[in-house]
Amino acid sequence: MLWVSPGNVEPLATIRADLERGPEEATRTIGAGLVRLAPLGVLLPLLWQRLGGTRFASLFRTGFLGGMIALALEVGQSFVPSRVADVDTVILNTVGIALAHQLCYSRLRHRLLREPRQGARTPARRRATPPPAAAPERGADPGRAGRARRCWGPARSERRETAALSPRG
């Protein structure tokens, strides 16, 4: 027979017990609870690319969904005979998700939305490259009839013809 302690449904009871055991034990257990699901704070916004809106709205969405995932994991864990549910684990996992989101929010927003961060240097804008010209249709006149006209200037062949005809001085 395996002895299993009863589940903890009182918030912060396990955290208080860990703090009473000493700083090393508290650091180990609380740190593990914070880090366990922290990558979800970065991955959940990337999953739907939902970094638009305010920082608080994105934090709320990520924290809520991360908390629901942590709760589902704890409920699923309670069906295993040697494991018990602990509300403090859900709290620590959700706080870890929120902290990771806050630490990475500005970099993620910059990379996904291509917005400059405050205080960051912005690179010089590159000149937009024009799309490739459409291929002439088969059997069409090799002149202008089969080619698409570029709207930003004459085609290369037209520039060469103009340069050949102009007098050089």
Task: Output the pLDDT for position 46.
Answer: 83
Task: Output the pLDDT for position 39.
Answer: 96
The structure's pTM equals 0.63
Task: Output the pLDDT for position 105.
Answer: 86
Written as six digits, the tokens of 26 are 């508290």
Task: Output the pLDDT for position 142.
Answer: 56
CA distance 142 to 64: 62
Task: Output the pLDDT for position 3.
Answer: 67
Written as six digits, the tokens of 159 are 């520039």
Residues of the chain with pLDDT below 70 are 1-3, 49-52, 115-169
Q: What is the pLDDT of residues 97-110, one digit of tens each?
A: 999 999 998 888 77
List C-alpha distances in Å: 46 to 53, 58, 106, 112. Answer: 14, 11, 13, 8
Q: Integer distance in angstroms from the first to the last C-alpha of the chain?
A: 103
Written as six digits, the tokens of 65 are 């969904």
**Helix, strand, coil percentages in the chain from 3-state DSSP, rounded to 5:** 55, 0, 45
Beta bridge partners of 8: 86
Task: Output the pLDDT for position 82.
Answer: 83
